[in-house]
Amino acid sequence: MTKANIHLLRGDDAYSIAQHIKKIAATLGSDFNPSMNLVRLDAKTATLEEIQTAISTLPFFGGSRLVIIDSAANKIDKARQEKYVVTLTSVPPTTHLVLIAEDHQKWKKDGNHWTRIWETLTPTHWLIKGLSEHPSTEIIDFALPDEKTMGAWITAEAKMQGGEIDADAAQELSRHIGNDTSIASQEIAKLLMYVNFKRPVTREDVLELVSDEGSTDVFKMLDHLMLGDTRTAQSMMHGLLGDSQPEVILGAVIHRFRQLIQVREALDDGDDLKELVSKRVIFFNQVNDYSKAARRFSMQRLEEIYKRLLQMDVQAKTSQVDLATNLEMLIMEV
């Protein structure tokens, strides 16, 4: 961890971003009290004044404060961009400011070579330029792995968790779960516990533990739901809720509908779905199935479902409605 206290986390790997935030929080010392000194705002809804107040407030009964701003690169009037950057860079040394800026990478040909670049937050973007000039800022990239690099990500994650996984096992796991790093991390933990961290995870372990059991069934359930097989999806959801955390299932459902919205948008615009493959929204072998599933819904209906999922997430965090009940009701609504 650097001495920077302004951290711009750029990318679309939400799991890795969340893990990095935990690392930042861990550096704040034993006297850091999240209930007193942690504030999280969404730049899409928070006013500039609210953001300024959160940033400028000194810690309560402790030495450090953590402010997290989601959607930090949200579109803002050009006339206010400079003031916004000044506000962000006015953070006192007792506060760590985490700015989460979702962006996706794409391929660009440079002469005879292809390189990955960010779609929006390029070096000339006003937020990147403004923060890059501040000495206490670090910009860290968290891009989702693509189909070719997911196996390497799984191998590295297994090592970080204190175990080892064979290359062919990593590829097999990638084939089942795609590039959802959150689900992958949980599957890796389960596999490492299965081998008791005493030997590398093999392809046979993956086939035995992941293909037929466990949270991978979330994806099978979603496949049935997307293609209109509600009865099977409902039965599978009930079974999943019996041995899986509902938060994990909700995360997978949100991820799937976010993908379908992007596929539906591409279909409506007449775009080639291979563009979504290059952006790592979906894998190449998912194009036909996701295209068929997206055509079952209008864009309006997909957005309604997505808003419902976000509402369920809020309700779960505030204990307004049992999440498991909400998930079972969702199957009937879709």
Structural domain boundaries of the chain?
A: 6-142, 145-212, 214-334
What's residue 75's pLDDT? 72
CATH 3.40.50.300 fits 6-142, yes or no: yes
Give the C-alpha separation, 289 to 278, whole Å.
Answer: 17
What's residue 1's pLDDT? 46
Give the C-alpha separation, 326 to 321, whole Å.
Answer: 7
Burial 292-320, CB ≥16 within 10 A → b, else e:
ebbeebeeeebeebbebbeebbeebeeee
User: What average pLDDT does range 263-286 have in this prediction?
Assistant: 82
Lowest-pLDDT range, 52-56, 197-201, 224-228, 242-246? 242-246
The pLDDT > 70 percentage for the chain reads 96
C-alpha angle 6-85-314 in degrees, rounded to nearest 5:
70
* Domain 145-212: CATH architecture, name and number where available: Orthogonal Bundle (1.10)
DSSP E strands: which ranges in the chain? 6-11, 38-42, 65-70, 95-102, 105-110, 113-118, 137-142
User: What average pLDDT does range 36-65 have in this prediction?
Assistant: 89
Is pTM, for the whole model, over 0.95?
Answer: no
What's residue 130's pLDDT? 92
Query: Does pLDDT of 225 surpass 50?
Result: yes
Query: Does pLDDT of 40 surpass 90?
Result: yes
C-alpha angle 191-192-196 in degrees, rounded to nearest 5:
120
Torsion angle in degrees (nearest 10) through CA of 19, 23, 25, 30 = 130
Residue count (the chain): 334
User: What average pLDDT does range 225-247 have in this prediction?
Assistant: 84
Query: Does pLDDT of 213 surpass 60?
Result: no
211 or 10: which leads in pLDDT:
10
Banded pLDDT at 177 (limits 50, 70, 90): confident
Q: What is the DSSP letter of 121?
A: -
CA 295 vs CA 227, 257, 298, 301, 302: distances in Å: 10, 13, 7, 11, 10
What's residue 2's pLDDT? 56
Q: Which CATH class is domain 214-334?
A: mainly alpha
Lowest-pLDDT range, 144-153, 202-211, 225-234, 278-287? 278-287
112 or 171: which leads in pLDDT:
171
Query: By three-state DSSP, how is residue 276 classified?
Result: helix
What's residue 320's pLDDT? 66
pLDDT digits (tens, 9 = 90+) for 73-108: 987 888 889 999 999 999 999 999 999 999 988 878
33 or 263: which leads in pLDDT:
263
Give the C-alpha separation, 15 to 183, whole Å.
Answer: 9
What's residue 251's pLDDT? 78
Banded pLDDT at 221 (limits 50, 70, 90): confident
52 or 285: which leads in pLDDT:
52
Give the C-alpha separation, 261 to 243, whole Å.
Answer: 29
Give the C-alpha separation, 262 to 258, whole Å.
Answer: 7
What's residue 274's pLDDT? 81
**Could you identify the residue written with the tokens 């379908």?**
260
